[in-house]
Structure 1
Amino acid sequence: MSLIQIVTAILLDAEQRVLVVRKHGSDTFIQPGGKREPGETSLQTLQRELFEELGVQLDVDSAQPVGVFEEDAVNEPGRRVQGEAFLVRVSGQPQVKAEIAELAWVPLQPPHGVTLAPLSARHQLPAAHAWLVKAGHTGT
């Protein structure tokens, strides 16, 4: 089984809802982000992907690593995805661009109200919540 390596963003709004996106041709929501281009660092990848997908500018200094997680890929049967996740802040209002069909702001903890990819639901969002609790940024 081949591994798809990606870098993803966990963006929160003032109500601690998380931004998720759905690509064209998929029913499942995922974290914004994507695959590295040759020579890119994780944050350079995230900066490029967030601009391409959502039209926002990454605040690089805000990036907090949450972890690296692996799960079955939702859009590529028979493959695994490994996502390096960062809690980040951005400038600008996220909007649908590039291969994105829809975006949604959902609760950080279940129920999310949309179908989330296992990488997000089982790993990235719980880890982000745990990071926020440990850092004292949430009362839940």
Structure 2
Amino acid sequence: MSSFNSAETGLMAKYNANDTTLMVDGELMYGFAADTMISVAYDNDNVTVSQDPQGTAVASINNKTGATLTVNLNETSPSNAKLTELANTRAEFPLDLRTSTVHQTAAHCYISKMPDNTAAQNAGDRAWQIHALNLDTESLVGR
């Protein structure tokens, strides 16, 4: 089996976790959890398809661009203070996420609820759920 980084295809891309920046309400977030720093999941499919019993299909375009971001911070991260403030005041805020491969922005975001908190032998993680009302996504691969 040939490598996808062959002479025909070239190098696919490089990823570096240090390229990841998340700005929330103008502040840089840092002090992430050990493994997954941030995950992004769009709330809806782009297209919904329905078919009748005879196979006639209709594709309905969905224009909803809301998404849920999970920001995993170590509980000792100073960034928890900013997110706690936003959650307690139910404030609306912008965010800007950039990695080696993608740039995502949203002007209207909210924290859905305070994250769970635990006390244990070691410092734990706090998983912040942020709802982005209209998340724009741009691929940075090949640029």
For normalisation by structure 2, the TM-score amounts to 0.31
Higher RCO (C-alpha 8 Å, min separation 6): 1
Higher share in helix = 1
